[in-house]
Amino acid sequence: MKQLRAKYASVLIVFTCTVMSAALADQRIVVQSTTSTKNSGLYHYILPLVKRDTGVTVHVVAVGTGAAIKNAMNCDGDVLLVHSRKREDKFVAEGYAKQRHDIMYNDYVIVGPQSDPAGIADLRNAATAFNKIAATKSTFVSRGDMSGTHSKEGALWHAASVLPDTSSAKWYRQTGSGMGATLNIAAGMAGYTLTDRATWTSFGNKADLDILVEGDKNLFNPYGVMLVSKDKCPTVNTKSGQAFIDWLLSDTGQTAISAFRVDDKQLFFAHAQQ
């Protein structure tokens, strides 16, 4: 009898745990996102606010934009927050999301060694700078990982009419890793690289590197957010995912994004279309 009671008790406990975790799971979402937003500390700053206002617990998986989109297509995320406009539009066009929302922007910068062997400092045009780097065969460290930054870099090489892949392993080095790892390598090799400003500002191992080119309108870096479509992925937590997106687009969310600072510098500029 005692044994039977213990059995019932354990069944009851397991049952309660399951129900409770199911209830909790309702409020949980996985956001597939980029390293730039995570490494800069943006999520660390806004997620407690999201939790406070909406009750939603957000789990962020930070990988390159390419990997994030791939994971979302595999239904391993409820929300996608990335920065590669073309591929975001493709994601929507293929029906993986109903709609893409602008949420914020910052810009890319070209960083390189202070000695500046290619002489690009203070150029206003990114493509010209890339041209000079190629012409002087100065070391350039590329992400090479299909991330948002990597595709922006590809577009800039295209604009500069340079095919850097043909110089692979000579002066053009592809790391195949995240922005931070790539910056570590650029610092180690005293090479040039393209980075988003958020990662750069919060990066701790700048060594001898400095911002050399900035302010070109081609270096604009917009971030978009999308709710993964239930039609493609039935397991998506639409309610909590939408609550998270609504919060980001709300005045509270937009103010919070703009208020986030590292070393007294604003890293992301809110620009949701109201």
Partner 1 sequence: MDFYCESLYQAFSLIISADAELAEVFWLSVKVSLTALLIACALGLPLGAFLAVHRFSGRGMLIGFINTLMGMPPVVIGLIVYLHLSRSGPLGWMGLLYTPTAMIIAQVILITPIIAALSCQIVEDLHEDYRDLFASLCVPSHVAILSYIYDARYSLLTVVLAGFGRAVSEVGAVIVVGGNIDHLTRVMTTTIALETSKGELEMALALGLILMVKALFINACGQRIKTTAQAKAYV
Stretch that binds partner 1, among 102-110, 113-121, 197-205, 265-273 (CB under 8 A): 197-205
- Residue 148 is a binding residue for partner 1 (CB under 8 A): no
- Residue 76 is a binding residue for partner 1 (CB under 8 A): yes
What minimum distance in Å lies between the beta carbon of 152 and partner 1? 19
Of residues 47 and 159, the one with the C-beta less far from partner 1: 47
Q: Strand, helix or coil at 59? A: strand
CA distance 47 to 34: 15
Identify whether the C-beta of residue 261 lies closer than 8 Å to the C-beta of residue 36.
no
Question: Count of H helices and E strands in the chain?
Answer: 11, 12
- Residue 35 is a binding residue for partner 1 (CB under 8 A): yes
Stretch that binds partner 1, among 1-9, 60-68, 88-96, 157-165 (CB under 8 A): 60-68
What minimum distance in Å lies between the beta carbon of 233 and partner 1? 6
Name the DSSP class of 169.
T
CA distance 67 to 83: 12
Beta bridge partners of 172: 140, 168
- Residue 233 is a binding residue for partner 1 (CB under 8 A): yes
Q: Using the rule CB under 8 A, which residue among 34, 39, 147, 195 binds partner 1?
A: 39
* Structure token digits, residue 263: 């070393």
Stretch that binds partner 1, among 73-81, 123-131, 155-163, 238-246 (CB under 8 A): 73-81
* Structure token digits, residue 151: 């595709």
- Residue 205 is a binding residue for partner 1 (CB under 8 A): yes
Find how far residue 141's CA is from the centre of its chain: 19
Identify whether the C-beta of residue 124 lies closer than 8 Å to the C-beta of residue 212.
no
Q: Strand, helix or coil at 142? A: strand
- Residue 181 is a binding residue for partner 1 (CB under 8 A): yes
Stretch that binds partner 1, among 4-12, 58-66, 112-120, 158-166 (CB under 8 A): 58-66
- Residue 218 is a binding residue for partner 1 (CB under 8 A): no
CA distance 251 to 260: 14
Name the DSSP class of 174.
E
Identify whether the C-beta of residue 196 lies closer than 8 Å to the C-beta of residue 108.
yes
Of residues 127 and 179, the one with the C-beta less far from partner 1: 179
What minimum distance in Å lies between the beta carbon of 179 and partner 1? 7
Of residues 113 and 180, the one with the C-beta less far from partner 1: 180
Residues lying near partner 1 in the complex (CB under 8 A) are found at 25, 30, 35, 39, 43-44, 47, 59-62, 71, 73-76, 177-181, 183-184, 187, 202-206, 233, 235
